[in-house]
Amino acid sequence: MDAGNQTGVLEFLLLGLSEDPELQPLLFGLFLSMYLVSVLGNLSTIVPKMLVNIQTASKAITYAGCITQIYFYFTFGYLDHFLLTVMAYDRFVAICHPLHYMIMMNSHLCGLLALVSWSLSVLVALLYSLMVLRLSFCTHMEIPHFFCELTEVLKSSCSDALSNYIAMFTVIGLLAIPPLTGILFSYSKILSSILKMSSTEGRYKAFSTCASHLVVISLFYGTGLGVYLSSAFSPSSSKGAVASVMYTVVIPMLNPFIYSLRNRDMKGP
């Protein structure tokens, strides 16, 4: 790449999900309804800009806006990841060590776990954002996605992004895989404890305490894995964008309903 072609970039073009003008009102109505539901219990960093782009037919997002989107996307994404792990540990203690629950899950530990989760999420997102800032962008500024997805942004760069990929996979290896392993370990112990219970009612009550959490875990990691496999085996970035709708829009919309089902069950007679 000729160094003379490099220039400071002010904005990118988000190609979105479809360029068909007849689909724009339908897409806008669909995602607006999803956003109105999810915003009641989730802070969204992607859907507002997506709605503006669909409604105004403008596909542009500023360079600063793109970096901001990357930062908050990974902040809340990793925060969900860590909090799901903390909740799995909470269910493990409640079912496997019920008599020691108040001692093991005291307010000091809960506050510390929340602080660590927030701190790690913010630091990881800051690392990803700062490493994007060091990249140069040339004439190819189109992102075949509906938001500034990190890998697509890296592909659009005319700089060597190898260090970005190394940092990304290193963080995944250090901060994504161990918590997921902890979740699987917790639920293996929970399942073992439930199977040892002699009372059917006791088994049902124990399982019901973690049913909503299991559903969220399945959706969160299942859709994430699906998007990864879709992008890995399909050369089409647009298909990966469609698959990403599941974990960026649909899952946040469903989470309040899933958890409210459990809350209603706990408050019922």
pLDDT single digits (tens) 7-18: 677 777 777 766
Whether the predicted pLDDT of 155 surpasses 70: yes
Whether the predicted pLDDT of 264 surpasses 50: no
Whether 165 contacts 153, CB under 8 Å: no
| 11-29 mean pLDDT | 74
Q: How far apart are CA 236 and CA 48, in angstroms?
A: 25
| 239-246 mean pLDDT | 71
**pLDDT bucket at 41, cuts 50 / 70 / 90:** very low
Window from 57-66, 193-202, 224-233, 254-263 with minimum mean pLDDT: 254-263
Domain-by-domain residue ranges, the chain? 3-267
pLDDT over 70 percentage in the chain? 78
- E strand segments, the chain: 11-14, 60-62, 142-143
Whether 40 contacts 258, CB under 8 Å: no
**What pLDDT does 240 receive?**
67
Q: Quick: pLDDT tens for 94-142.
A: 889 888 888 888 888 888 888 899 899 999 999 999 999 988 887 767 8
Comparing 205 with 5, the larger pLDDT belongs to 205
* pTM for the structure as a whole: 0.78
Residue of 49, 40, 39 lying closest to 70 (CA atoms): 49
Query: Considering the chain, what is the average pLDDT of its residues?
Result: 80
Out of 3.40.1110.10, 1.20.1070.10, 1.10.10.10, 2.60.40.10, select the CATH number for domain 3-267: 1.20.1070.10
| 233-258 mean pLDDT | 68
**What pLDDT does 267 receive?**
42
Comparing 5 with 254, the larger pLDDT belongs to 254
- Measured from the Cβ of residue 244, the count of other Cβ atoms closer than 10 Å reads 23
**What pLDDT does 237 receive?**
61
Whether the predicted pLDDT of 269 surpasses 50: no
Partners of residue 204 on adjacent β-strands = none
Q: Quick: pLDDT tens for 175-225.
A: 988 999 999 999 999 999 988 888 888 888 888 878 888 888 888 888 777
Q: How would you classify the pairing of strands 11-14 and 142-143?
A: parallel
The pair phi, psi for residue 97, each rounded to 5°, is -135, 60
